[in-house]
Structure 1
């Protein structure tokens, strides 16, 4: 299994993210995930740099493959614009770039005043957006007049040797089926073997399946729980709230209903090597090919050191 590091743009400054990327490569991580947000989930997280600037900068500080986990090419950014951003990113990273896409959250996508569609419509928009991007990556001028998007006389001149792979995020049956039908890979965040099985049996075959989990490295489990609850109470918010709440303050309000003990399920808290190995094993048994770990809080160097010193020798 490939083990990567997840860069949380919601929580760290651009300089910190670049330093984490350098450190992850030195520690032996094999790839990077990076989130795409306009807002953090909560004000306690406190950051949200523009992901496409960060992806360009990452190409200059390390050689690790990069996947967006995930970006939404439907509302905040038109797919024709995002197609250009992804093409340039693939050129900068010499083909080591994967465009991970999903149907998005109102938290990031509502900012221009557009209506936030229902889930079925969002999936329909995502499918058309991927079609538009792939058409543009083939080169030449593109005219597209679809149900949701219009493109007129558009051509991307800076193209990679091969189009960037598109991995599709899916958490419900319809989204997983869409990922299996149109995706070059599958993205998720839970060790759910049923979702992996559905993806593979409905058209995904042996395409790569990526997943990620969160950690809060600290001297003790209790301190890790405290950090995780302070920064990410939204990790315990259930159901579809993560897709429909529009503001960090709404996630903070919903987070008040989450008990700190819930962080023990949502995060690997503390510095116990066996706990990290057990979480990685959950994803391996579920059938994922790649897993990415994100740290929350100030102790990210401790997590990198732990993986280099104790996790990687036992996994590999």
Structure 2
């Protein structure tokens, strides 16, 4: 049976509300939760971008059952991998073993702020592979020094280590990232229901490992309101990852999505309250081979109604998958 997750989307909701929402998600029966780790929203209309790791610490204390996960953290520009290892170990301790560390090669939108430039995808993947090695070494305990092509680590040690290190997931969008994930990760992460990505992950060593997808949805009893909100805040989503990883700011995403129509967005993600549409969106992922799917409810002020509807209607329907 597919596991259904809830997304704390930092780009559309402030930090206190994010914690209250994940508590609500735990109460209504979601199987796990994920959180985005952004410095910028995708569009100005989303309006938020709080520090995901502070939210995770609060969420770990406010909840007792629901697993937590970054979806995803880039450990190569804005954060040094040795610092990511410390953050992840701390959240694993605070959550008493409920945390998974999702990693990816990042987006220019969030990583440009440190002024290190934005190299090509091949360099970004190389940096990610090196970062995963550093994080795993620190999870192993003891002092770690590393003199690599992209990173230096001088006598680092994690003084507060959990009994079990957090599993590491890697986000994939093409063959190179699938090779990296299959070789280095404990689970795979994707934002499209692409069976070819999972086949490549398996080919490179991922067979039998969990596979986690994510799908945006926009619940509202008034479908026209749902479509308008999805267009206002989520029209950037259809650009595809090769575009989304390169644009440097919200103005770029606004320009790239300027000609996306509300009906285009409505055709790409379920809007309204017809549960069959939501089930079909998740079925695309289960059919591709995903065993976990996290939902993003579009609209920061519309989480409570969505979560209540989830308990009554959506989650029972999705359990049938």
Q: State the TM-score, normalizing by the size of structure 1.
A: 0.97
CA-CA distance at 1:223 after TM superposition: 1.8
CA deviation digits over 1:152-203, x for unaligned, max 9? 0111101110111110000111111211111100000111112112212321
Once residues 87 and 101 of structure 1 are traced to their aligned partners in structure 2, the CA distance between those partners, rounded to angstroms, is 14
Aligned equivalents of 1:314, 1:11: Cα separation in 2? 27
| TM superposition outliers: structure 1 runs of 4+ over 4 Å | none
Match of 1:305 among 305, 308, 319: 308
- The number of residue pairs the alignment matches comes to 316
Number of the residue aligned with 2:264:
262
**Contact 1:187 1:209 (8 Å CA) reproduced:** yes
Deviation (angstroms), 1:239: 5.5
Q: How does 1:1-316 map to 2 (within 5 A)?
A: 1-63=2-64, 64-238=66-240, 240-297=242-299, 298-316=301-319
Helix, strand or coil for the counterpart of 2:10?
coil
Q: Which runs of 5+ in 2 are unaligned?
A: none
Question: Partners of 1:200 and 1:225 in 2: how far apart?
Answer: 37
Distance across 1 between alignment mates of 2:221 and 2:155:
57
Asked if 2 retains the 8 angstrom alpha-carbon contact of 1:215 and 1:269, the reply is yes
Cα distance change on mapping 1:95 and 1:252 into 2, 3 Å = same
SS at structure 2 position matched to 1:130: helix
Partners of 1:273 and 1:306 within 8 A in 2: no
Distance in 2, matches of 1:200 and 1:220, equals 42
Classify 1:180/1:87 alpha carbon distance in 2 versus 1 (closer, same or farther; 3 Å): same
The verdict on how the C-alpha distance between 1:32 and 1:176 changes in structure 2, with shifts beyond 3 A counting, is same
Q: What SS does the corresponding residue of 2:61 show, helix, strand or coil?
A: coil
Using structure 2 for the length normalisation, give the TM-score: 0.96
| Alignment partners' CA distance in 1, 2:155 and 2:268 | 47
- Secondary structure of the structure 2 residue equivalent to 1:232: helix
Return 5+ residue gaps in structure 1 as ranges: none
* Contact 1:271/1:303 (<8 A) preserved: no
RMSD, matched Cα: 1.2
